[in-house]
Amino acid sequence: MLETFTYLLPPFTICLLMVGILSYFGNHILARGIIFIDISLAQIAALGSMIGILIGFGAESTGTAIFSFAFAIVIVSLFPLLNFEKEGIPEEAIIGFAYGLSLALALILAEYIPGGSNFIKKTLTGNILWVTWSEILVSFLLFFGVGIVHVFFGKRFIKMSTGQIDGWSKSKQMTINLLFFVTFAIVIVKTVAIGGIFVIFTFLIAPASIAAFFANSWKWKILISWIAGFVGSVLGIIVSYYLDMPNGPAIVCTLGLLLIVTWICKKLFFRSA
C-alpha cells in the first residue's frame, strides 16, 4: 500500500498543481464564451514542438520547448486583434479553424518525424503517471509566477472576462487581454507537455462547469472547481493504475462522469438554487 502511494504521489501532486491553475483559467474561459481556445492553443503548441523536432532538437529539449512557447504566444497574441464579428464570423469559429489547421499540419509533419504517430498520441493523451519531481518543481515555479501576475491583475482580468469594461480605452482592453492570453498560453504549453491535450481541455472546462452549477461568486467557483478537479483526477489516476488503463483517457472519463453526476444532483436536489 505504501509502495503504491509513493508511486502515485507525483501524479497526484502534478494533478493538484495543474487543476489549481487550469480550473482558475477555466472559469475565465467559460465567462468569455470561448470554450475551444484551450484545445486550439494546446494543438498549436504541439505543432510548435513538432517543428522544433524537425529542425533537429530533441523531443524533450529546451529548443523544442522554446519553439512550442513561441508558437503559442505568437498565435495567442493575435487572438485579441482578430475581430471578424462585423463580417458575421464569431470568434469561436476562428478558434475552431485554428485548431483544425494546426492539427492538419501536425498530421502532415508527423510523416517526416521518426515515431511521429507516437508523438501525436502523446500530445493527445499525455502520460501523467511518469511525471518526475523535477518536472513538478519546474511546473510549480512557472505556475507560481503566473499566479503572481494574476494576483496583481486579477480584478481587471475578471472585469474583462465578464464584460465590465465601461470607460476602458481600446488600448487598455488590448493590453489586459494580451497579458491574460500570454499567461494562459504559458500554462497551456507546460501542462500539455505533461497531461496531453484532452486532459488539459477537461481540466479547464469540467471543474469550472461543475462550479457553475452551484456558485455565482468567483471565489466559490474557483474553490469548487479546485475540489472537483482534484477529486476527479485522483480517481482517474487510481482507476487507470489498478485497471491498467491509459491515464489520460481515464482522467477525462472520470471527470466527465463527475460532471454528469453533479448535473443530475443539481436537477434533483437543487432545483430552486
Contact 32, 92 (CB under 8 A): no
Q: How many domains does the chain have?
A: 1
Q: Where residue 72 sits, what CATH number does that domain have?
A: 1.10.3470.10
Q: Which domain holds residue 77?
A: 2-269
Burial class (CB in 10 A: 0-12, 13-18, 19+), 113: middle
φ, ψ at 60 (rounded to 5°) = -105, 15
Digit-by-digit pLDDT tens for the chain (273 residues) are 677 778 889 999 999 999 999 999 999 999 888 777 878 888 888 888 888 888 888 777 777 888 888 888 887 777 666 665 565 667 777 777 888 888 888 888 888 887 777 777 777 777 788 899 999 999 999 999 999 999 999 999 999 988 888 888 888 888 898 899 889 988 988 898 888 888 988 999 999 999 998 888 898 999 999 999 999 999 999 988 888 888 888 999 999 999 999 999 888 877 654
Look up the pTM and report it: 0.86
Closest CA relative to residue 230, chosen from 12, 78, 5:
12
CA torsion sign for 138, 63, 187, 237 is negative
Contact 248, 125 (CB under 8 A): yes
